[in-house]
């Protein structure tokens, strides 16, 4: 009986452990996946790392019983103190939050269940005969030489370029040209064209340091983020082959109306693809060599592309930009010899907006207020703002002649699945859900994000068309059109269960003072509704 009871108790404990929503995960730092026991835990948004492993990160931290202090921040700053939480019996630190506070960022990879911790390059500057480099977090770096032309190359492992490009150092008598680029997803490469490349020291693990470019220069480390032994680096890489000259690809339309663009690539190469707005663009970063920018203007509206442009990228490679004449459903197919981009008119587009059925979904309602913010005795609730925007939008679309269905027209609660059941039963053409964003740390994030489900190209096109108009009038940053899989493995319920193209618009952050000041203004709410209506019309009618 005791064995049976013990077995039942063990089974109960295991079931409770798995019921907490946590998954074992991996952590990659400076290009290396750490061996962790006990493992890190992923809850769908945050990676929780047992405090016993924090020293492996090499970050400027002090750990106490209940919190972590970030020693590079002033102790009187609230951001300097990061509370710890108990996860499966271990005291853990939230790594994504920690990285944000230190100026770094993280990238989650669902297939490998791995979170990658990356620094941002903050500075690369020539000071006399020295090169000064600064990153937001410590990186493992090394130098090596390349020929034809002669170059000194500095690779920063565990680093990424910032959203706003770092100013390039001005050439000097010794350094003829400087290039900075993202060599691979985890490595920033700095290349200096020099007659006689030289570097002291040749490797290290720092967040701020100097490299001497002549044998007589002294280059002490300016500021070390950690007190760590030198990193043993592999020998310099062999001379890299000169990349193939880039050839501008040709847009072709097949009998099914699909526009195709094929770009040959070296085996194993994968392009970086971005969907951008204002104007609508698709950008592909691919290997290759291009002396100067090339541009082609397309006269055929059936190609969906107004301008095709190729520009050289700092640090090597080519950015191919398709400036779109309308929103498109885009599919990227990668093969052994290259990548093909298929473009087509998105589902339910064509004709006039007045011929369409539109479901507008004001987020939350009733006893479900959504995000909240208290200012003195005043409480600002997400549900109120989303309803105001939705009512404006419904009026505008009705004026266009469209049939409009609101999932709620007053302050009442509506179930998630009721919302999509209503739109599915009405055979609606489009589903638009309106929300306000929020996060655990006030004033840490700002801007508009639009989500679509998984890899649904038609919903992504709808979101891109709407965001293209919102950014023109909102005064808020664009956070892009994103797959809901970055939030939850299964996606968002109202997007996952919609049978028509569907988007969820996070207009702005209610817990950011700049966004909130706009969100509560009736004039701003009306401008956002007008932008959504304009973007939807352009999407439907191909404007």
The answer to whether residue 101 is domain-embedded is: yes
Q: Which helix (H) or strand (E) holds 374?
A: strand 372-375
Q: Which helix (H) or strand (E) holds 529?
A: helix 522-541
What is the pLDDT, as a whole number, of residue 178? Answer: 87
The answer to whether residue 15 is domain-embedded is: no
Residue 164 has phi, psi (to 5 degrees) of: -95, 120
Q: Could you tell me if 393 and 501 lie in one domain?
A: yes
Q: Which helix (H) or strand (E) holds 458?
A: helix 457-473
User: Does the pLDDT value for residue 157 go beyond 50?
Assistant: yes
The answer to whether residue 276 is domain-embedded is: yes
Strand order in the sheet with 272-276: 272-276, 281-286, 318-324, 305-312, 294-297
The answer to whether residue 340 is domain-embedded is: yes
Q: Which helix (H) or strand (E) holds 293?
A: none
Between CA 478 and CA 450 the distance in angstroms is: 9
- Counted domains in the chain: 4
Give the CATH number of the domain where residue 194 resides.
Answer: 2.60.40.3500
User: Does the pLDDT value for residue 514 go beyond 70?
Assistant: yes
Q: Which of 98, 114, 130 is the last residue of a domain?
A: 114
What is the pLDDT, as a whole number, of residue 243? Answer: 61
What is the pLDDT, as a whole number, of residue 16? Answer: 46
H-state helical runs in 381-447: 382-399, 416-425
Between CA 315 and CA 177 the distance in angstroms is: 11
Confidence of residue 7 (pLDDT cuts 50, 70, 90): low
The answer to whether residue 120 is domain-embedded is: yes
Sign for the CA dihedral angle at 256, 260, 266, 272 comes to: negative
Given a contact cutoff of 8 angstroms between Cβ atoms, the answer to whether 246 and 313 are in contact is no
Q: Could you tell me if 205 and 293 lie in one domain?
A: no
Catalytic residues: 506
Look at the pTM and tell me if it is higher than 0.85: no
Q: Where are the beta strands (DSSP E) in 114-256?
A: 114-127, 130-146, 151-157, 159-160, 175-184, 187-194, 203-212, 251-253
The answer to whether residue 134 is domain-embedded is: yes
Confidence of residue 227 (pLDDT cuts 50, 70, 90): very low
Q: Which of 291, 313, 344 is the last residue of a domain?
A: 344
For 341-356, the pLDDT digits (tens) are 999 999 999 999 999 9
What is the pLDDT, as a whole number, of residue 196? Answer: 87
Q: Could you tell me if 264 and 321 lie in one domain?
A: yes
Given a contact cutoff of 8 angstroms between Cβ atoms, the answer to whether 491 and 437 are in contact is no
Q: Cβ neighbours of residue 524 under 8 Å, at least 6 residues apart? A: 474, 518
The answer to whether residue 329 is domain-embedded is: yes
Q: Could you tell me if 393 and 530 lie in one domain?
A: yes
User: Does the pLDDT value for residue 443 go beyond 80?
Assistant: yes
Q: Among residues 495, 476, 475, which one has the least CA distance to residue 486? A: 495
Angle at 518 between CA 513 and CA 524, to 5 degrees: 170
Chain centroid to Cα 493, Å, comes to 21
Q: Could you tell me if 110 and 121 lie in one domain?
A: no
Give the CATH number of the domain where residue 524 resides.
Answer: 3.40.630.40
Between CA 207 and CA 366 the distance in angstroms is: 50
Domain membership of residue 367 as a residue range: 353-541
For 267-306, the pLDDT digits (tens) are 777 788 889 988 899 999 888 888 888 889 988 889 999 9
For 117-145, the pLDDT digits (tens) are 999 999 998 888 889 999 999 999 999 98
What is the pLDDT, as a whole number, of residue 31? Answer: 82
Between CA 516 and CA 382 the distance in angstroms is: 10
**What's the chain's Rg over C-alpha atoms?**
26
Between CA 171 and CA 151 the distance in angstroms is: 13
For 192-217, the pLDDT digits (tens) are 888 889 888 888 888 899 999 887 64
Q: What is the mean pLDDT of residues 494-521?
A: 95
Between CA 543 and CA 238 the distance in angstroms is: 51
Q: Could you tell me if 370 and 405 lie in one domain?
A: yes
Q: Could you tell me if 84 and 130 lie in one domain?
A: no
Q: Could you tell me if 74 and 171 lie in one domain?
A: no
Q: Could you tell me if 109 and 136 lie in one domain?
A: no
Secondary structure, 3-state, 229-275: CCCCCCCCCCCCCCCCECCCCCEEECCCCCEEEEEECCCCCCCEEEE
Q: Could you tell me if 365 and 461 lie in one domain?
A: yes
Q: Which of 298, 313, 344 is the last residue of a domain?
A: 344
Q: Could you tell me if 415 and 523 lie in one domain?
A: yes
Given a contact cutoff of 8 angstroms between Cβ atoms, the answer to whether 137 and 158 are in contact is yes
Residue 514 has phi, psi (to 5 degrees) of: -65, -50
Q: How far is CA 124 from CA 12, 155, 165, 172, 235, in A?
A: 55, 12, 11, 14, 24
For 356-384, the pLDDT digits (tens) are 999 999 999 999 999 999 988 899 999 99
What is the pLDDT, as a whole number, of residue 356? Answer: 97
Between CA 156 and CA 141 the distance in angstroms is: 4
Q: Could you tell me if 206 and 256 lie in one domain?
A: no
The answer to whether residue 10 is domain-embedded is: no
Q: Cβ neighbours of residue 62 under 8 Å, at least 6 residues apart? A: 68, 69, 71
């Amino acid at each position: 009986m005791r064995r049976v009871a013990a077995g039942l108790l063990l089974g109960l404990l295991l079931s409770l452990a798995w019921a907490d929503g946590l998954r074992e995960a991996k952590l990659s730092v400076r290009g290396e996946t750490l061996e962790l026991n006990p493992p890190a835990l992923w809850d769908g948004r945050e990676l929780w790392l047992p405090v016993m492993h924090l020293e492996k990160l090499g970050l400027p931290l002090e750990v106490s019983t209940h919190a972590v202090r970030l020693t590079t921040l002033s102790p009187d700053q609230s951001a300097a103190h990061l509370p710890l939480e108990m996860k499966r019996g271990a005291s853990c630190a939230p790594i994504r939050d920690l990285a944000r506070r230190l100026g770094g960022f993280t990238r989650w990879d669902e297939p490998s269940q791995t979170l990658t911790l990356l620094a941002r390059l903050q500075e690369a500057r020539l000071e006399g005969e020295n090169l000064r480099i600064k990153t937001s977090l410590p990186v493992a770096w090394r130098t090596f030489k390349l020929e034809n032309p002669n170059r000194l190359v500095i690779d920063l492992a565990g680093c990424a370029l910032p959203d706003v490009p770092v100013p390039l150092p001005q050439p000097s008598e010794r350094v003829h040209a400087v290039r900075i680029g993202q060599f691979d997803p985890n490595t920033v490469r700095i290349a200096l064209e020099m007659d006689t490349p030289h570097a002291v020291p040749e490797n290290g693990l720092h967040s701020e340091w100097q490299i001497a470019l002549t044998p007589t220069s002294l280059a002490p480390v300016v500021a070390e983020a950690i007190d760590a032994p030198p990193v043993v680096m592999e020998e310099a890489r062999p001379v890299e082959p000169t990349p193939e000259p880039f050839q501008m690809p040709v847009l072709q339309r097949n009998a099914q109306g699909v526009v195709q663009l094929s770009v040959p690539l070296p085996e194993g190469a994968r392009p970086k693809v971005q969907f951008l707005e204002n104007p609508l663009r698709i950008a592909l970063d691919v290997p290759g060599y291009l002396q100067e920018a090339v541009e082609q203007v397309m006269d055929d509206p059936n190609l969906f592309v107004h301008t095709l442009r190729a520009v050289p990228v700092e640090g090597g490679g080519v950015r191919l930009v398709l400036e779109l004449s309308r929103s498109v459903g885009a599919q990227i197919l990668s093969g052994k010899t290259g990548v093909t981009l298929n473009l087509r008119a998105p589902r339910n587009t064509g004709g006039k907006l007045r011929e369409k059925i539109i479901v507008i979904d004001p987020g939350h309602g009733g006893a479900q207020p959504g995000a909240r913010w208290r200012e003195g005795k005043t409480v600002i609730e997400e549900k109120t703002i989303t309803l105001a925007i939705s009512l404006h939008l419904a009026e505008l679309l009705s004026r266009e002649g469209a049939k409009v269905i609101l999932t709620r027209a007053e302050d009442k609660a509506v179930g998630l699945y009721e919302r999509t059941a209503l739109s599915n039963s009405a055979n609606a053409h489009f589903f638009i859900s309106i929300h306000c964003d929020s996060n655990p740390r006030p004033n840490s994030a700002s801007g508009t994000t639009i989500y679509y489900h998984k890899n649904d190209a038609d919903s992504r096109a709808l979101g891109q068309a709407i965001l293209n108009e919102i950014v023109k009038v909102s005064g808020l940053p664009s956070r892009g059109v994103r797959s809901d899989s970055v939030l939850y493995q299964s996606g968002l319920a109202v997007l996952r269960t919609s049978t028509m193209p569907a988007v969820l618009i996070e207009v702005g952050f209610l817990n950011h003072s700049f966004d909130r000041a706009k969100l509560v203004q009736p004039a701003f709410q009306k401008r956002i509704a007008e932008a959504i209506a304009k973007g939807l019309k352009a999407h439907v009618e191909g404007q």
